[in-house]
């Protein structure tokens, strides 16, 4: 009887600490991805919408984005524990958005280094208190400042991380989707983890710079990758085909907003007219399109003052 109850206690304790593992898929050797659903972050999905995952080397695991809330971070950690005995050495945050960084706290431990773009810490701090308020209000998720973990390692231009028989190349991009986008390239499998520099199916969301993003796309589409992992959308195996929809949408924003400004239209008009031919091509168009037009419009109003910059 005593042994039985002790056993029961152990089981209860184990259940209390271990989360259910997040479903992940090995898309190519040692590259595991959890594919998120195309939903607006809300109090039902608690912000669990983005693609997350990890890459396993001989000596180290690198986590790529930690989740949309602390529980999802724990579930991702459980998935790693169930997949490999290799220790986690790095948690890479691809950018500041909540669906990619709110699981950070689950991984905080001795020997784990957080890695991000050199502007990530500033973005996290600037937005921190606002984000924490919104987490309660909009995601029904309790977060504290302890959940906002700033990077220990900052990537200025590019950085190589050796996971043991596997070297990842991290690149800090100029302002595109956000001002702190980081991509991760795995040479071993020729896999490019673009995160939110690439959206497929889910409408791209602009929180950085429209022309900057298009210029990064122009560079990326010249390269050859076997696998590309978007921040939202399925595994890409036909690069650069799968980035054409995003490129088309962003180019359309650029062209139509420029035309609206030239015609003397105001922001409020542009929000109602620009880009609607794309409405049926994307999930979450109604949720994000007007914000994209707003952000882009405010940037393009000033471009005539820099003719050299206009292309």
Per-residue binder mask for another protein (CB under 8 A), 249-288, x = binder: ---------------x-xxx--x---------------xx
Q: Which residue from 99, 154, 186, 256 is in contact with another protein, where contact means CB under 8 A?
A: 99
Q: Using CA atoms, how far apart are residues 72 and 64, in angstroms rounded to an integer?
A: 13
Choose the binding region for another protein from 29-37, 108-116, 124-132, 165-173 (rule: CB under 8 A): 124-132
Beta partners for residue 293, in sequence order: none
Per-residue binder mask for another protein (CB under 8 A), 292-311, x = binder: --xx--xx-xx--x------
Check binding of 127 to another protein (CB under 8 A): yes
Beta partners for residue 70, in sequence order: none
Q: Using CA atoms, how far apart are residues 164 and 47, in angstroms rounded to an integer?
A: 33
Direct distance between the N- and C-terminal alpha carbons of the chain, in angstroms, rounded to an integer: 79
Backbone dihedral region for residue 241 (phi beyond 0: left; psi -120 to 50: alpha; all else: beta): alpha
Q: Using CA atoms, how far apart are residues 129 and 9, in angstroms rounded to an integer?
A: 39
Kindly state the smallest distance separating residue 215's Cβ from another protein, in Å.
14
Q: Using CA atoms, how far apart are residues 88 and 104, in angstroms rounded to an integer?
A: 13
Closest CA to 56 of 44, 64, 48: 64
Q: Which residue from 38, 113, 134, 188 is in contact with another protein, where contact means CB under 8 A?
A: 134
Choose the binding region for another protein from 106-114, 115-123, 236-244, 252-260 (rule: CB under 8 A): 115-123
Kindly state the smallest distance separating residue 32's Cβ from another protein, in Å.
24
Check binding of 205 to another protein (CB under 8 A): yes
Q: For residues 118 and 171, which CB has a smaller minimum distance to another protein in the complex?
A: 118
Residues 6+ apart with CB under 8 A from 260: 269, 270, 273, 274, 297
Q: For residues 48 and 179, which CB has a smaller minimum distance to another protein in the complex?
A: 179
Choose the binding region for another protein from 13-21, 120-128, 155-163, 183-191 (rule: CB under 8 A): 120-128
Q: For residues 238 and 268, which CB has a smaller minimum distance to another protein in the complex?
A: 268
Q: For residues 88 and 293, which CB has a smaller minimum distance to another protein in the complex?
A: 293
Choose the binding region for another protein from 2-10, 19-27, 105-113, 136-144 (rule: CB under 8 A): 136-144
Interface of this chain with another protein, residues 214 to 253, rule: CB under 8 A:
none
Q: Using CA atoms, how far apart are residues 163 and 185, in angstroms rounded to an integer?
A: 13
Check binding of 119 to another protein (CB under 8 A): yes
Q: CB 127: neighbour CB atoms within 10 A?
A: 15
Kindly state the smallest distance separating residue 39's Cβ from another protein, in Å.
11
Distance of CA 121 to the CA centre of its chain: 15
Helices 285-300 & 244-262, crossing angle to 10 degrees?
50
Q: Using CA atoms, how far apart are residues 17 and 77, in angstroms rounded to an integer?
A: 12
Q: Which residue from 98, 151, 233, 275 is in contact with another protein, where contact means CB under 8 A?
A: 98
Q: Using CA atoms, how far apart are residues 117 and 170, in angstroms rounded to an integer?
A: 9
The reply to whether omega before 240 is within 30° of 0 (cis) is yes
Distance of CA 309 to the CA centre of its chain: 28
Q: For residues 60 and 176, which CB has a smaller minimum distance to another protein in the complex?
A: 176
Q: Which residue from 48, 207, 246, 256 is in contact with another protein, where contact means CB under 8 A?
A: 207
For another protein, the binding residues (CB under 8 A) are 40-42, 97-99, 119, 121-123, 125-127, 129-131, 133-134, 136-138, 175, 178-179, 205, 207-209, 264, 266-268, 271, 287-288, 290-291, 294-295, 298-299, 301-302, 305
């Amino acid at each position: 009887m005593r042994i039985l109850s002790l056993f029961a206690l152990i089981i209860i304790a184990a259940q209390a600490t271990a989360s259910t593992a997040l479903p992940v898929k090995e898309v190519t050797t040692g590259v595991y991805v959890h594919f998120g659903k195309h939903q607006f972050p809300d109090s039902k999905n608690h912000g669990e919408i983005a693609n997350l995952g990890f890459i396993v080397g001989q000596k180290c695991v690198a986590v790529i984005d930690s989740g949309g809330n602390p529980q999802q971070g724990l579930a991702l950690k459980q998935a790693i524990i169930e997949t490999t005995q290799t220790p986690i050495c790095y948690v890479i945050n691809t950018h500041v958005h909540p669906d990619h960084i709110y699981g950070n706290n689950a991984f905080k431990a001795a020997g784990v280094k957080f890695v991000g773009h050199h502007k990530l810490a500033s973005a996290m701090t600037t937005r921190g208190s606002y984000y924490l308020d919104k987490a309660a209000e909009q995601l029904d998720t309790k977060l504290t400042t302890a959940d906002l973990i700033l990077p220990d390692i900052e990537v200025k231009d590019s950085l190589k991380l050796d996971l043991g028989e596997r070297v990842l190349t991290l690149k800090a991009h100029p302002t595109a989707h956000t001002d702190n986008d980081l991509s991760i390239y795995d040479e071993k499998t020729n896999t490019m983890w673009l995160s939110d520099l690439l959206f497929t199916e889910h409408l791209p969301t602009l929180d950085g710079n429209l022309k900057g993003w298009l210029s990064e796309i122009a560079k990326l589409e010249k390269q050859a990758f076997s696998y590309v992992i978007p921040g939202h959308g399925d595994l890409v195996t036909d690069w650069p085909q799968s980035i054409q929809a995003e490129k088309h949408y962003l180019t359309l924003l650029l062209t139509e907003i420029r035309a609206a400004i030239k015609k003397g239209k105001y922001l409020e008009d542009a929000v109602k007219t620009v880009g609607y031919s794309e409405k049926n091509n994307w999930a979450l168009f109604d949720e994000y399109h007007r914000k994209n037009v707003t952000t882009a419009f405010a940037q393009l109003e000033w471009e005539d003052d820099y003719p050299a910059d206009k292309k």
